[in-house]
């Protein structure tokens, strides 16, 4: 048996690259175990249907009701964050670094191409998932990739399904890095993923540049054949660790799943003394390194981007808006069930029975037979504590809204007191500063970085031409434009301005209304462009899809209307001037 185990160990032996990548993953994944436990506890509170799923269930209360306050704050934050990022279709702009990069034609081509790809690749849906990570974990991670997918037509031809860049969410539970680094871009990253053997076969056969996956399939099939004769005890003797999420090694290798660890960054080979920078190392089964290549992008860093909600000092793992509200949710559920138990005791109090008492049941109309000296007495309870619990629950819920950076005005709830329109807007802007700062950080640190990486990967992999639909601002109609690689190649930056524009346009509208309601309006009237002011109102109200506002459109419509009126009057006059047939 010892020889058999030695042979098994040799089959499962790791190479040098896979060994240190797997060790790095285990090291930094274990170090953040407390953070993961906190995230899982928060998740239990958010999705709990009763207190038996949370730590409140350990309390000795008969009732097990949970008040989903954390879930409500989470949903409110998500909906408001998402609405702020995409208030209208003009949330993405191009800023060129040079004269040739800033022309109207160049900007229109890049903005139209990226807007088209964002729509086709369901960019908004993926951003929605990233926002949930931002709220739940306090950390959101995204990467980008170029996808060229086709479908086979009935005549045997291949039709393009989607060709272009795509943003992808990376689960915070599937990425590790050095949290003590000065920035996320300057540290290595290891991303864990799980694929089936079938998925790896498809990658190897569909994309020629990913042919390195084929040896993975061959090795797994050979490994399953060679290890079929070994028992689970042999595996336990040969290896003393488990693959994350797959149980023991015997179950893992007999399954159809393959664990993949991908290292991004710089590493020092202790065996050869060689320092390698900007590398991608792909490790399969924590035993074989199937790829060790230079990063293909032009930025010089890994195409993985991170944003945190509330950063800790000297730690890149940030805290989420709900993390320190779990205790308050615990308190609310505790008070709610304490109150419910107390009300049950008031409505259906316990009885003190003295002496010999005979009864069939305790119900309305029941008859009791009491011996001499016997009695039944209700043990009454005071309602004062219940009233106090109600007040404390309401106070806790109000505080949780504020602590999460979600002012009540953002949820459509107006604070007490009479206010003018300008006062309401001023108070709303001041109360929403935490909210605005957090969503602007998400927009700048994650979306802007990811969008520019999407443009880079699109230019690098662009082949041939692409036809997209574009709105012509001059004539107000949609046209089709043929985009080539040269059209979207420029030096500059894409900027998502939805969140920043969303906050600013509300303030701008109030300022314009205030100006035109003052004597200043008469002074500046000769210098005010009605057409540009109309564009501003259209942008603020988001009514561009209805084509309501166009230069001098009212004059043209009035002219047409007046022409129809004149024509109708002329026809009526002619009819009246012609004698009726048969009349004397």
pLDDT band at 179 (very low <50, low <70, confident <90, very high): very high
pLDDT band at 2 (very low <50, low <70, confident <90, very high): very low
Of the given ranges (292-296, 358-362, 415-419), which has the lowest mean pLDDT? 415-419
Of the given ranges (152-161, 200-209, 220-229, 545-554), which has the lowest mean pLDDT? 220-229
Q: Tell me the sheet residues that pair with 418.
A: none
**Using CA atoms, how far apart are residues 507 and 41, in angstroms rounded to an integer?**
40
| 3 state DSSP class of 307 | strand
What φ, ψ does residue 319 adopt, rounded to 5°? -105, 145
pLDDT of residue 285: 82
pLDDT band at 316 (very low <50, low <70, confident <90, very high): very high
Strand 288-294 relative to strand 304-308, pairing? unpaired
- For 380, counting Cβ atoms within 10 Å of its Cβ (0-12 exposed, 13-18 middle, 19+ buried), the class is exposed
Instruction: Give Cβ neighbours of residue 9 (< 8 Å, ≥ 6 apart).
Output: 238, 239
Structure tokens at 502: 């969303």
Average pLDDT score over residue span 508-536: 83
Structure tokens at 284: 């399969």
Q: Tell me the sheet residues that pair with 279.
A: 265, 294
Structure tokens at 401: 């809204």
- Say yes or no to pLDDT of 529 above 70: yes
Model confidence over 394-406: pLDDT tens digits? 888 888 888 888 7
Asked if residue 262 lies in contact with residue 281, where contact means CB atoms within 8 angstroms, the answer is yes
pLDDT of residue 450: 94
Of 554 and 232, the one with more pLDDT: 554
Structure tokens at 352: 């003190």
The CA distances from residue 283 to 140, 346, 451, in Å, are: 24, 64, 28
Of the given ranges (130-134, 200-204, 502-506), which has the lowest mean pLDDT? 502-506
Instruction: Give Cβ neighbours of residue 239 (< 8 Å, ≥ 6 apart).
Output: 9, 12, 249
- Say yes or no to pLDDT of 448 above 90: yes
pLDDT band at 172 (very low <50, low <70, confident <90, very high): very high
What φ, ψ does residue 275 adopt, rounded to 5°? -100, 125
- Say yes or no to pLDDT of 584 above 70: no
pLDDT of residue 1: 39
Asked if residue 405 lies in contact with residue 435, where contact means CB atoms within 8 angstroms, the answer is yes
Of 410 and 73, the one with more pLDDT: 73
Model confidence over 10-41: pLDDT tens digits? 555 566 777 888 889 999 999 999 999 999 99
Estimate to the nearest angstrom the gap between the alpha carbon of 387 and the chain centroid. 40
- Say yes or no to pLDDT of 152 above 50: yes
Average pLDDT score over residue span 409-418: 54
Model confidence over 39-93: pLDDT tens digits? 999 999 999 989 888 888 888 888 888 899 999 999 999 998 998 888 877 788 8
Of the given ranges (37-46, 185-194, 266-275), which has the lowest mean pLDDT? 266-275
Handedness of CA 500, 543, 549, 115 (dihedral sign): positive
Handedness of CA 173, 175, 177, 183 (dihedral sign): negative
- Say yes or no to pLDDT of 103 above 50: yes
Asked if residue 159 lies in contact with residue 153, where contact means CB atoms within 8 angstroms, the answer is yes
Structure tokens at 260: 């993949």
**Using CA atoms, how far apart are residues 445 and 437, in angstroms rounded to an integer?**
12
- Of 481, 482, 479, the residue nearest 465 (C-alpha): 482
- For 431, counting Cβ atoms within 10 Å of its Cβ (0-12 exposed, 13-18 middle, 19+ buried), the class is middle
- Say yes or no to pLDDT of 140 above 90: yes
What φ, ψ does residue 311 adopt, rounded to 5°? -75, 145
**Using CA atoms, how far apart are residues 535 and 224, in angstroms rounded to an integer?**
66
Estimate to the nearest angstrom the gap between the alpha carbon of 380 and the chain centroid. 52
Of 169 and 522, the one with more pLDDT: 169
Model confidence over 352-380: pLDDT tens digits? 888 887 876 777 777 777 888 788 777 77
Share of the chain above pLDDT 70, in %: 82
Average pLDDT score over residue span 191-216: 80
**Using CA atoms, how far apart are residues 173 and 150, in angstroms rounded to an integer?**
32
The H-assigned helical ranges of 364-432 are 384-403, 421-431
> pTM for this one?
0.79
CB environment 148-185: b (16+ within 10 A), e (fewer): eeeeeeeeeeeeeeebbbbbbbbebebbbbebeeeebb
Asked if residue 456 lies in contact with residue 293, where contact means CB atoms within 8 angstroms, the answer is no
| 3 state DSSP class of 152 | strand
The CA distances from residue 139 to 178, 267, 315, 495, in Å, are: 15, 25, 12, 21
pLDDT of residue 277: 86
**Using CA atoms, how far apart are residues 169 and 130, in angstroms rounded to an integer?**
6
- Say yes or no to pLDDT of 422 above 90: no
| 3 state DSSP class of 66 | coil
DSSP run (H or E) holding 209:
none
């Amino acid at each position: 048996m010892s020889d058999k185990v030695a042979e098994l160990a040799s089959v499962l032996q790791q190479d040098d690259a896979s060994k240190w990548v797997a060790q790095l993953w285990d090291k930094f994944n274990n170090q953040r175990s407390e953070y993961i436990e906190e995230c899982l506890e928060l998740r239990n509170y958010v999705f709990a249907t009763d207190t038996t799923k949370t730590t409140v269930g350990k309390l000795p209360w008969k009732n097990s009701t949970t008040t989903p306050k954390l879930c409500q704050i989470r949903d409110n934050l998500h909906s408001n964050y998402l609405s702020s990022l995409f208030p209208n279709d003009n949330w993405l702009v191009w800023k060129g670094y040079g004269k040739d990069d800033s022309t109207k034609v160049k900007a229109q081509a890049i903005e139209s191409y990226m807007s088209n790809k964002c729509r086709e690749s369901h960019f908004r849906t993926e951003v929605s998932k990233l926002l949930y990570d931002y709220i739940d974990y306090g950390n959101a991670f995204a990467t980008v990739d170029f996808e060229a997918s086709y479908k086979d037509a009935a005549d045997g031809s291949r039709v393009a399904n989607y060709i272009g860049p795509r943003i992808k969410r990376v689960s915070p539970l599937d990425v590790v890095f050095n949290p003590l680094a000065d920035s996320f871009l300057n540290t290595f990253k290891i991303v864990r993923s799980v694929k089936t053997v079938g998925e790896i076969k498809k990658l190897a056969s569909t994309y020629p540049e990913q042919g390195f996956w084929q040896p993975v399939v061959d090795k797994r099939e050979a490994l399953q054949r060679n290890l079929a004769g070994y028992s689970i005890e042999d595996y336990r003797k040969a290896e003393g660790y488990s693959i994350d999420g797959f149980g023991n090694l015997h179950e893992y290798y007999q399954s159809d799943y393959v664990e993949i660890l991908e290292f991004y960054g710089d590493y020092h080979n202790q065996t050869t003394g060689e320092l390698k920078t900007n590398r991608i190392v792909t490790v399969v089964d924590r035993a074989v390194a199937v790829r060790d290549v230079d990063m293909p992008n032009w930025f010089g860093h890994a195409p993985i981007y991170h944003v945190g909600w509330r950063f800790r000092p000297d730690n890149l793992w940030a805290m989420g808006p709900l993390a320190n509200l779990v205790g308050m949710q615990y308190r609310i559920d505790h008070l709610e069930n304490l109150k419910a138990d107390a009300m049950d005791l008031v409505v259906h109090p316990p009885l003190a029975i003295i002496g010999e008492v005979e009864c069939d049941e305790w119900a309305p109309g029941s008859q009791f037979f009491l011996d001499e000296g016997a009695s039944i007495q209700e043990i009454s309870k005071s309602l004062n504590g219940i009233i106090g619990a109600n007040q404390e629950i309401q106070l806790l819920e109000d505080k949780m809204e504020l602590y999460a950076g979600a002012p009540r005005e953002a949820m459509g709830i107006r604070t007490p007191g009479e206010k003018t329109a300008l006062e309401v807007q001023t108070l709303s802007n001041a109360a929403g500063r935490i909210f605005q700062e957090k969503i602007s950080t998400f927009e700048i640190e994650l979306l802007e970085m990811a969008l520019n990486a999407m443009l880079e990967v699109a230019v690098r992999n662009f082949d041939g031409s692409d036809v997209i639909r574009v709105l012509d601002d001059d004539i107000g109609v949609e046209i089709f434009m043929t985009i080539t690689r040269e059209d979207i190649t420029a030096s500059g930056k894409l900027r998502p301005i939805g969140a920043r524009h969303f906050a600013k346009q509300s303030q701008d509208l109030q300022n314009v209304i205030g100006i035109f309601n003052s004597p200043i309006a008469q002074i500046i009237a000769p210098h005010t462009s009605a057409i540009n002011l109309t564009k501003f109102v259209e942008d603020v109200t988001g009514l561009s899809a209805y084509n309501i506002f166009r230069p001098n459109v009212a004059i043209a419509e009035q002219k047409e209307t007046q022409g129809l009126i004149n024509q109708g009057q002329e026809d009526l006059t002619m009819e009246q001037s012609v004698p009726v047939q048969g009349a004397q």
